[in-house]
Structure 1
Amino acid sequence: MRFGDLWSWYTQYPYLKRLPNRQVLEQAVLGAADVLLWQQDAFALADGYDEATDEYQNLWIHGDKPDPSLVTDDTLLVQPARAVAQRARVVATPSIEPITPADGSNSGEGSIPSPGPGAVTPTPGPSPQPSPPPAKKVTRRFWGVKTLSPNRPAADFANIQQEVLAHLEAADGVQLEVRIEITASAPDGFTEQQVRTVRENATQLKFEDTGFEEN
């Protein structure tokens, strides 16, 4: 979808949400870089589309740097699934470059220069033993710390589950450990009812360690 067409729809159809000006829509499109669940709630961007190759030109997907800074009428809003599929094809196709001799000559494929008159053919020596390949480094451990929003901890944790834990769980034989650490302080103190309720619920939920402090 062209951005210019999208803006035209907002100016023509009254059932669409009214926008103060075009800049608001531009900022909303550029805000795709800040959307965590971008494959569900946002889109990729491109400068054009080549029908012959069925590929988008100058494709940008969430996580690419630098972030997009300009939107024009011809900017394309691309479905995340199509953008990810194209990026996967590009990564999976290695580029092949021709090998040129160091002296810049081109003796022809497979040609071997013949020795000149009186040349002595060297006696082949023992073939050098190939060096063992370097040991492959294996990434075996992940750790991470994040403070959840006190106003929406459930939503934050749901995002972590979808964007981080789900990928870690997909590893073969993974041993996943997730801990929740809670700290709370009230200037006027907690009521007896609050203390009793939290203690009982923490016990039912099998918290490893809980407690209140008095001062």
Structure 2
Amino acid sequence: MATQTKKLIEVALPLAAINAAAAREKSIRHGHPSTLHLWWARRPLAAARAVIFAQMVDDPSAWPDLFPTEDAQEAERQRLFRIIEELVKWENTTNETVLDAARAEIRQSWQRTCQANADHPRAAELFDPERLPANGGDVPDDLDARLVVLAPDCPHTKDGGSPAEAAAKAILETRGNAPRLYRNTLAFLAPDRTRLQDLDEAARRFLAWNSILADDETLGLTAHQKRQVEQQIASADAAAAARLPETYHWLLVPSQGQPTEPMRWEALRLTGNDALAVRAAKKLRSDGSYLVSYSPTLLKMELDRVPLWRGNHVSVKQLVEDYARYLYLPRLKDPASLLHAMSEGVGLLTWAQEGFGYADDFDPAAGRYKGLRGGTSVTLGDPYSAALLVKSDIAAMQLDAERAVLVPVGTGVPASPGETGSSGGAARSPSTPVAPQEVMPTRFHATATLDATRIGRDAGRIAEEIVAHLSSLIGAEVTVTLDIAALVPDGVPGNVVRVVRENCAALRIIPDFEDR
């Protein structure tokens, strides 16, 4: 037996808005079907549209996993009412924006119905939504970043509230009947509604010529005619391939500035000549919405800002899941990027100020961390590890206490239990090695060659990953010098010389042009 879901019409309707639109529709004298004949049945189309929509759309109470409280259900119900209030207006009879919003809601309810009846013995026949992707259940819910390509019947417009946003929202929130866990891994590629017709025409032309070639024997095509058909197929295929990236140029990215702010959609327009997936990746990276590498400094900042600590520590597994779940955190390519940042943060020489400690486990009874270390190399490769990142001040406090037990202050040698010197201090034990004193460097110098076409990128990385660490040290004096050398075999034109000299003067740089 099929699983039934409660529809909106079974619970409530915005009757006042429907009645008002129906009453007004009876007085319309131009363009209404009732003007075709005097005895035409005057059943207002406003009521028909409202009833059909409410019969096909699920009531929020049918999905308690998505809307667990009565307040949440009522808020969603009011949102559906607002769609009906626009749908019943006679002026919106041919308004594609309003119709697309209604179609998106119907499509979403149908997808949920198909998913709920996936185990039906005739599911393939009766509950096949025929969509790409069919529903959120087709999109894996894992830790890796993914680009979801929406179906052609989910176009995007600049007006907001497009079918693409509705479909993307449904996929982002659920996977089948269950809520989606890892929402911060998805971005969506959607077609443009104004360009969709051109792509549809090209695809139909390609399919039509292919059907002619498939029936060549029935049609009795000659060899010459077959060659003409093949040429038309190639031409139609090239046209469809060219229109595909022109149509699919909207990138929808879910984002959230702060944990307390609502989620919003950012619509980014793709450009370039690369494949669609490559264009999308480049656009996300340039916009800062997709990171293929991550620095320990940024990780430490997010740990303290949100905060992501669970008390004085957080497990590796929990932190990996946090970055995949929450939209207010940076979107990373995969867990390996985050694991690398964790490893670097533990291994920093300045880990106590800019990093964090690392421990194998925590002993609640003793109130101490097991296998605690900081400022040492650690390799992390398992995103499901139960190991812990520890707040740097807490880790430093325990490590200092452990060193104080090993080497009492003023002796420089390890203590042997039960043995004391004449002065009450610990006597040297020949079986215990003396802890070596750390020698810290006092100067740093490095030279780097930057890509002349990407100076901003390279200089920014150097500033973030090197200069920032050195500048944060108390008493540090950091000087950054930029050397520019250009060799132009054919000589520098006079206008370029003049512009460079003027810009150097404005930037207080002393230029030096040399002859051959």
TM-score scaled to structure 1, two decimals? 0.52
**Is contact 1:32–1:38 with CA below 8 Å preserved after alignment?**
no
Partner of 1:76: 388
Retained in 2: the 8 A contact 1:45–1:78?
Answer: yes
Give the residue type in structure 2 aligned to 1:54: G
Q: What does residue 458 of structure 2 align with?
A: 152
Query: Is 1:29–2:335 an aligned residue pair?
Result: no
Distance 1:57 1:141, change over 3 A: closer
1:13-65 deviation digits (Å, cap 9, x = unpaired)? 58688989xxx42552244234679779865432101224433222243x413
Runs of 5+ consecutive residues of structure 2 not aligned to the other structure: 1-313, 408-413, 423-438
Q: Which residue of 2 aligns with 1:114?
A: none
Aligned alpha-carbon RMSD (Å): 4.7
Aligned to 1:183: 484
Which residue of structure 2 aligns with residue 120 of structure 1?
Answer: none
- For residues 139 and 88 of structure 1, do their structure 2 counterparts lie closer, same or farther at Cα, with a shift above 3 Å needed? closer
Does 2:443 align with 1:142? yes
Deviations 1:105-134 (A, max 9, x none): xxxx98xxxxxxxxxxxxxxxxxxxxxxxx
Q: CA deviation at 1:4?
A: 3.8
- 1:202 corresponds to which residue? 504
Task: Summarize the Cα distance change of 1:152–1:10 in structure 2 as closer, same or farther, 3 Å threshold.
Answer: closer
- Compared with structure 1, are the counterparts of its residues 194 and 177 closer, same or farther at alpha carbon in structure 2 (3 Å cutoff)? farther
- TM-score normalised over the length of structure 2: 0.26
Does the CA contact (< 8 Å) of 1:7 and 1:25 recur in 2? Answer: yes
Total equivalences in the alignment: 170
Contact 1:50/1:57 (<8 A) preserved: yes
Q: Counterparts in 2 of 1:1-215, with a 5 A limit?
A: 1-6=314-319, 24-26=334-336, 28-34=338-344, 43-61=356-374, 63-65=375-377, 67-71=378-382, 72-95=384-407, 96-98=414-416, 142-147=443-448, 149=450, 150=455, 151-157=457-463, 159-167=465-473, 170=475, 176=477, 178=479, 180-185=481-486, 192-207=494-509, 210-215=511-516
| Amino acid of the structure 2 residue aligned with 1:74 | A
| Distance in structure 2 (CA, Å) of the matches to 1:81 and 1:164 | 19
Measured in 2, the distance between the counterparts of 1:165 and 1:2 equals 30
Q: Which residue of 2 aligns with 1:126?
A: none
Cα distance between partner residues in 2 of 1:177 and 1:202: 23
Sort the Cα spacing of 1:200 and 1:27 in 2 relative to 1 into closer, same or farther, 3 A.
closer
Distance 1:5 1:17 in 2: 15
- The amino acid of 2:415's aligned partner reads E
Residues 339 and 381, structure 2, Cα contact 8 Å, conserved in 1? no
Work out whether residues 10 and 17 of structure 1, in 8 Å CA contact, stay in contact via their aligned partners in 2.
yes
Please give the alpha-carbon distance, in whole angstroms, between the structure 2 residues aligned to 1:141 and 1:41.
18
Output the CA distance in 1 between the equivalents of 2:357 and 2:340.
10
Q: Distance in 2 between matches of 1:86 and 1:94?
A: 12
| Contact 1:148 1:157 survives alignment (8 Å) | no
TM-aligned CA distance change 1:161 to 1:140, over 3 Å = closer
Distance 1:25 1:213, change over 3 A: same
CA distance in 1, matches of 2:323, 2:393: 25
Within 2, Cα distance between the matches of 1:166 and 1:70? Answer: 29
**Alpha-carbon distance in 1 for matches of 2:403, 2:479:** 33
CA offset at residue 193 of structure 1? 4.7
Q: Which amino acid is 1:68 matched to?
A: T
Tell me the amino acid that sits aligned with residue 511 of structure 2. T
Matched AA of 1:162: A
Say if 2:320 and 2:338, in contact at 8 Å, map to a contact too.
no
Q: Could you tell me the percent identity over the aligned residues?
A: 22
Query: Larger % of helix: which?
Result: 2
Look up the equivalent residue of 1:147 and give its one-letter code.
Answer: A
